[in-house]
Chain A
Amino acid sequence: MTVSDLPVGVLPSKSLIGYNDELKAGLANGYQFTELVDQLLLTNDANQLLTAVLQLINFDLNTKQVQFPNQYQKNDWYLLFMTRLLELHQNSNFSLASATDHQELGLFLAGSGVRARFQFELDTSYNGGAFFTEIETKRRLFYLNLAKKELFFNSHDLVELFGTELRAIISADARMTAIHVMMDFAAALSSDFAFTVDYNILTVANTYQFEFKEANLAPELLDKLFVLSAKDEIIMQNATDGYGAKLALPGNIIVNLLQNIGNDNQPFWYLTVIDANERQSWFDVLMNYDFIYQWYQTDLASLEIQANQRVFGAKPNHVEANRVQVEVLQPHYSEEG
């Protein structure tokens, strides 16, 4: 056989170039990844932090030739970003937990302690972003979209988790500590990166108008609150300005329920929470006053404060709307004034 009889071969010097290039690219990709992780873990610059996480949540670490078997998921990068930003703002009211046998992060908040565990859960709809979610109960407490710079709190699940499920086992103060970690994170996003934040039911501004799901409340709902308030010896008064009612709560907190006329000439109801230091929201009131919470929960279908519809969707009306409960409403008479 002569050389010319052999099948056509490749030049040894050129033989593995393509393969080697793929390896190099894969390794470079991996190296770039580690640099981004470094940046996320170590930077003291908020903008660097945001740049890093935005790239990491879209980063595909595996290439054709270089595969990494043990990887963290996108939602872990959200959680790491959140805790690092809190760290930069000297907030340490949380504990970041790492699984020992696999790559997964979880979060505990001061106040709710080990009773509640949190992670981000990716929003798979066209909205993108992720929900800050309590794992056990699947309650979505806020929605976060880093690219669109949005954070929306979710009134419904906040009340369900902190108002109802944790109510019996954790004090109101402790529950508010946990809530304030989330609020501090939102405040950092808005101060550092000008995020749009909807505090929703957590809004503390005195001028904020909390609007009910049912715009035109039935007068019976106000009557119910009046009867319930008598048990706590808090007299529900007529509103000082405009048509509606006023509750003066201990601690110099005033809750106003007021009727106004909208642009469409239809009446609508809203409430305001007034306190001297602007630290109290409607949510605080629900946490601290059982009779108000009872009132709100009983007629949630009408009274719920609406969260962002685009990301949380319109809540369906109570499926059991026809399920009428026997209500026992009795004013308590006490001899001492």
Chain B
Amino acid sequence: MTTNEYLATQGPIVHPILLEKLDDKLNYLTAVKTAIQEHDDRLLYSLLDQKRYQEVVENRIDNPDDNQLSAMVINLRAELSHFLAQELITYLAKAFPFFYYKEIVNGEYEIYFGNWWDRRRFGTLNVLELAFEFDDVEYSKLEKSVELSKNGIRFNSDNIAILTDENEKLQKLIDTQAQRESAKEQLRVELDETNNMRTGLFNGTKAREQREELVEQLAQLQADDEKAGQAHQKIQVNNDKILALSKEDTILMYEQKSIEQQFQTFTVFEQQAQALYQSYITFLINNTGEEA
């Protein structure tokens, strides 16, 4: 050992702990490689997050954080996710048969609810964490819809009722055009009469009041005419809105139905969705024997 005036150190040049650490890393990577080669997804999940695996599966919470090892494969997340998704989605197709997945880029999966027309994009699937990451807006709509359905109300019932009511009023305005025409004619005749009436000495105020009232009624009818003129267009706009709302209600209804077919209640579904890690790892443990 040579002394170096530039360096003051107690440590040996060849450090056995360093070698040990490198061995750990090599062993870890070899284990990951074997897991992939043998398609042992359970092993792979345990390697990717040993701490969580042990906590959930082995109920051990005292183990040290060894996620430093899994940090080595962080830049392989996309490939690992793509790899693990194959078996996971086969499992999910049975456990949550109403969810469909689309791989948008390598290893990233969008969740679609159902296979019906214009189904909703419902969030993303985190394959490595084994977690559904539902879209907050879409999820809360479904939650509320389920809640409302207990009272036989649909998510958009109120809005549809308001629009339908408005449309019926507009239709009435259109249908009563002929009546308004004759009413206006009548009012004009009366106005003429009032104008030409010789006002007696004491009747001036009364005649003026009468005239004002007639003018006001006429103005009201003309305002209705104007509304009626735009009614067709408004009805069409409202029809389009009603259609969009009905479509949403139909979709929410299908979503709720498919959940209840599989899980009886929405609450059970929520619990199952949150327990995906545990249930899937348990499934993998139970099925390892068959695969080998």
Task: Indicate which residue in B116, B232, B242, B244 contacts A324 across the interface (CB closer than 8 Å).
Answer: B232
**Residues of chain B in range 132-157 having any CB-CB distance to chain A below 8 Å:** 149, 152, 154
Report whether B232 and A222 are in contact in the complex, using a CB–CB cutoff of 8 Å.
Answer: no
Chain B residue contacts of A324, Cβ below 8 A: 232, 235-236, 239
Binary per-residue interface labels of chain A (212-242) against chain B in the complex, 1 for a CB within 8 Å, 0 otherwise: 0000000010111111001000011110000
Chain B residue, CB-CB nearest to A336 = B257
Please tell me if B171 contacts chain A, counting CB pairs below 8 Å. Answer: yes
Chain A residue contacts of B117, Cβ below 8 A: 222-223, 225-226, 236-238, 245
Binds B, one of A76-84, A120-128, A198-206, A325-333: A325-333
In angstroms, Cα B251 to Cα A235, docked, is 10
Please tell me if A322 contacts chain B, counting CB pairs below 8 Å. Answer: yes
Please tell me if B188 contacts chain A, counting CB pairs below 8 Å. Answer: no
Please tell me if B254 contacts chain A, counting CB pairs below 8 Å. Answer: yes
Task: Indicate which residue in A326, A330, A337 contacts B171 across the interface (CB closer than 8 Å).
Answer: A326
Chain B residue contacts of A329, Cβ below 8 A: 242-243, 246
* Between-chain CB contacts (< 8 Å), 6 pairs: A223-B118, A225-B117, A226-B116, A227-B246, A236-B116, A331-B250
CB B173 to nearest CB in A, in angstroms, measures 12
Task: Indicate which residue in A220, A235, A327 contacts B116 across the interface (CB closer than 8 Å).
Answer: A235
Chain B residue, CB-CB nearest to A240 = B115
In angstroms, Cα B243 to Cα A222, docked, is 11
Chain A residue contacts of B103, Cβ below 8 A: none
Number of A-B contacts (CB under 8 A): 69
In angstroms, Cα B118 to Cα A237, docked, is 8
CB B109 to nearest CB in A, in angstroms, measures 17
**Residues of chain B in range 160-200 having any CB-CB distance to chain A below 8 Å:** 160, 164, 167-168, 171
Please tell me if B261 contacts chain A, counting CB pairs below 8 Å. Answer: yes
Chain A residue, CB-CB nearest to B171 = A326
Count of chain B residues near A, Cβ 8 A = 30
CB A128 to nearest CB in B, in angstroms, measures 44
**A residues in contact (CB < 8 Å) with B:** 220, 222-227, 230, 235-238, 245, 322-324, 326-331, 333, 337
Report whether B116 and A223 are in contact in the complex, using a CB–CB cutoff of 8 Å.
Answer: no
Among B116, B249, B250, max chain A CB count under 10 A is at B250
Chain B residue contacts of A220, Cβ below 8 A: 240, 243
6 closest Cβ pairs, A-B complex = A331-B250, A226-B117, A329-B246, A236-B117, A326-B167, A227-B246
Please tell me if B247 contacts chain A, counting CB pairs below 8 Å. Answer: yes
Chain A residue contacts of B89, Cβ below 8 A: none
In angstroms, Cα B167 to Cα A326, docked, is 6
In angstroms, Cα B235 to Cα A27, docked, is 72
In angstroms, Cα B260 to Cα A335, docked, is 10
In angstroms, Cα B162 to Cα A280, docked, is 42
Task: Indicate which residue in A238, A322, A326 contacts B164 across the interface (CB closer than 8 Å).
Answer: A326
Report whether A224 and B243 are in contact in the complex, using a CB–CB cutoff of 8 Å.
Answer: yes
A224-B243, A237-B115, A323-B232 are known; give 18 further A-B pairs, CB within 8 A. Answer: A220-B240, A223-B117, A223-B247, A225-B117, A226-B247, A227-B243, A227-B246, A227-B250, A237-B116, A237-B117, A238-B117, A326-B239, A329-B242, A330-B160, A331-B249, A333-B152, A337-B260, A337-B261
